Amino acid sequence: MKRVLLLLPTTTYRTADFLDAVSGLDVEVVVGSERTPALSGLMEGRALRVDFRRPDAAALAIAGYARERPLDAIVPVDDEATLVAARAAAALGLPHNPVEAVAASKDKERSRECLVAAGLRAPRFTTFRADTDPQQAARAIASGSCGVAFPCVVKPVDLSGSRGVIRADDERSLVSAFARVAALVTSPDVCPPGDRPQRILIEDFIAGGEVALEGLLRAGRLEVLAIFDKPDPLDGPYFEETIYVTPSRLPAETQDEIAREAQAATRALGLTEGPIHAELRLNDAGAWVLEVAARSIGGLCSRTLRFGAGISLEELIVRHAAGIQIPPLERERRAAGVMMLPIAHRGTLREIRGQDDAKRVPGIEGLVITMVPGSELVPLPEGDRYLGFMFARAETPEDVERALREAHAKLETVLERPWATPLAPLREPS
């Protein structure tokens, strides 16, 4: 029986989906996480403490475990586990992405450098230390000395889910955006005491529609699993994603270009094995690669995807990693979509009303609220969570999108203790 290590950060939404995926496979599962007591009973002692913020130490711990109980595969389920997985797999001689390739995919500055060096379309960019005077950064952009122009986007070099990503249209808004991102990357939950704060990247804002590509790399060759349309415009000042719908409604030639650019980006970064999640922008110049992550889609969004005889994305990932036969990768024919329920206001959650009405909307397949009453809600750009996820299936992408919007309109978020002072907007209302 093959033994598979699942790296499950405590912040992941995906623990249940991955454990469910492996339950039907002939594998022994070991779980690696920051805290093991709760998992130890569940996994009958097959739990390993892993500090994802210390990849070298985590890889050593995994290698030590594997000396007693050899591993056949290491599967990172979320972004923060990918570098640990690459280092540990390299130490154990297991199939893996090169460590430097994973590190580059996680670092937006290094990723941009790789993409530009390969001749791919990517935003012009520059980086600053987090302790840079925001006025100095704004003057540098305004002068054109950095090669970046307004409008631009300010973001940390290593956070995901649009956290800390803010558009700035002029010097004033850039000063405000830079200060907020600097406060975020120096906060204790992002930068533990003793660590060096990550740098802040400023890049050109690329206008156009946005799509996401879900794929699987096998020996460097990209197999496209799905292309998701994002029908809501992502123009800022923040970039909270909401609706994903597949199959894409874009012309076949545009989808082919998206796939080609994503493949080229994986080669530019040096990624060769396992799932990838790519984000691209489309405009008259073509497809622009914004990000390629060495992981699968986040949150609970993978529940929109079913392959072959109904297997999940998680099962497909584990099968690939463990060398278990993979059935045909053709996705089911029906359209599917997910809405990541946005957090609109800051405060303490009391309840979310209208859930039963939302579930009764034709096409709605499921609604999962992931924030419990009493939770402190923090919107983007500082926040890193969603209220939950809503899923729909229908005959056409249009029907899926319509169902999600109709159901979302029936939900009402009730805050018990709204903050008295809302976050200040970065741009004056028109």
pLDDT tens, residue by residue, 328-372: 888 888 999 999 999 999 999 999 999 999 999 999 999 999 999
Does residue 77 sit in the same domain as residue 158? no
| The predicted structure's pLDDT at residue 375 | 95
The number of beta carbons lying within 10 Å of the beta carbon of residue 23 is: 10
> Is residue 118 in a domain?
no
| The predicted structure's pLDDT at residue 161 | 87
What's the number of domains the chain is made of?
3
Range of the domain at 413: 334-419
| The predicted structure's pLDDT at residue 330 | 85
Checking if the pLDDT of 430 tops 70, the result is no
pLDDT in tens, 312-326: 999 999 999 999 999
> Is residue 309 in a domain?
no
Q: Roughly how many angstroms between the first and final C-alpha of the chain, as a whole number?
A: 63
Least confident window among 70-74, 145-149, 359-363, 421-425: 421-425
> Is residue 42 in a domain?
yes
> Is residue 253 in a domain?
no
| The predicted structure's pLDDT at residue 51 | 93
- Distance (Å, rounded) from C-alpha 304 to C-alpha 229? 13
Does residue 133 sit in the same domain as residue 196? yes
Checking if the pLDDT of 38 tops 80, the result is no
Residues 6+ apart with CB under 8 A from 222: 215, 216, 259, 262, 263, 266, 276
Checking if the pLDDT of 187 tops 50, the result is yes
| The predicted structure's pLDDT at residue 41 | 54
- Distance (Å, rounded) from C-alpha 398 to C-alpha 389? 19
- Here the CATH number for the domain that contains residue 152 is 3.30.1490.20
Residues 6+ apart with CB under 8 A from 428: none
| The predicted structure's pLDDT at residue 423 | 41
Mean pLDDT of 188-214: 95
- Distance (Å, rounded) from C-alpha 174 to C-alpha 182? 12
Does residue 21 sit in the same domain as residue 70? yes
| The predicted structure's pLDDT at residue 42 | 54
Least confident window among 41-55, 251-265, 319-333: 41-55
Does residue 87 sit in the same domain as residue 21? yes
- Of 392, 161, 165, the C-alpha closest to 298 is 161
> Is residue 355 in a domain?
yes
Least confident window among 27-36, 193-202, 365-374: 27-36
> Is residue 375 in a domain?
yes
pLDDT in tens, 10-24: 989 999 999 999 998
Mean pLDDT of 205-220: 97
> Is residue 268 in a domain?
no
Residue after which a domain boundary falls, among 171, 204, 237: 204
| The predicted structure's pLDDT at residue 428 | 34
pLDDT in tens, 374-429: 999 999 999 999 999 999 999 999 999 999 999 999 999 999 865 544 443 333 33
Mean pLDDT of 160-173: 96
Mean pLDDT of 210-239: 97
Does residue 338 sit in the same domain as residue 415? yes
Does residue 162 sit in the same domain as residue 128? yes
- Here the CATH number for the domain that contains residue 61 is 3.40.50.20
Mean pLDDT of 286-311: 94
Percent of the chain with pLDDT over 90: 88
- Here the CATH number for the domain that contains residue 339 is 3.90.1170.50
Of 20-29, 187-196, 280-289, give the range with the top mean pLDDT.
280-289
> Within a 13 Å sphere around the CA of 32, how many CA atoms are in the beta-carbon half?
31
> Is residue 243 in a domain?
no
Does residue 401 sit in the same domain as residue 338? yes
Does residue 25 sit in the same domain as residue 63? yes
Run of H or E residues at 168? strand 166-168
Question: Concatenated DSSP letters for 101-126?
Answer: HHHHHH-HHHHHHHHHHTT-----EE
Does residue 185 sit in the same domain as residue 137? yes
Residue after which a domain boundary falls, among 42, 68, 103: 103
Does residue 8 sit in the same domain as residue 96? yes
| The predicted structure's pLDDT at residue 18 | 95
Mean pLDDT of 130-137: 97
Residue after which a domain boundary falls, among 51, 71, 103: 103
Does residue 167 sit in the same domain as residue 98? no
Mean pLDDT, the chain, whole residue set: 93
Any alpha helices (H) in 208-311, and if so which ranges? 252-269
